Amino acid sequence: MVTRTTDCTAALWGIDNHHRSAHIRLGLLPSARGKGYGTDVVAVLCRYGFVVRGLQRLQIETLADNSAMLRSAERNGFVREGVLRSWAWVLGEFLDEVLLGLLVQDWKPAFGTS
- Mean pLDDT, to the nearest integer, of 88-108? 97
Could you tell me if residue 71 is inside a domain?
Answer: yes
Could you tell me if residue 76 is inside a domain?
Answer: yes
pLDDT tens digit sequence for 40-67: 999 999 999 999 999 999 999 999 999 9
Could you tell me if residue 111 is inside a domain?
Answer: no
Could you tell me if residue 114 is inside a domain?
Answer: no
Q: Give the pLDDT band of residue 4 (cuts 50, 70, 90).
A: low
The answer on pLDDT for 111 being more than 70 is: no
More confident residue, 35 or 91: 91
Q: Look up the CATH number of the domain holding residue 39.
A: 3.40.630.30
Q: Give the pLDDT band of residue 8 (cuts 50, 70, 90).
A: confident
The answer on pLDDT for 72 being more than 50 is: yes
List the domain range (segments joined by +) for residue 39.
2-106
- Say how many domains are in the chain: 1
The answer on pLDDT for 31 being more than 70 is: yes
- Distance (Å, whole) CA 109 – CA 22: 17
Could you tell me if residue 82 is inside a domain?
Answer: yes
Question: Long-range CB contacts (< 8 A, 24+ apart) of 20-23?
Answer: 20/54, 20/55, 20/56, 20/57, 21/55, 21/56, 21/57, 21/58, 21/59, 22/49, 22/53, 22/55, 22/57, 22/58, 22/59, 23/58, 23/59, 23/60, 23/61
Q: What is the pTM of this model?
A: 0.86
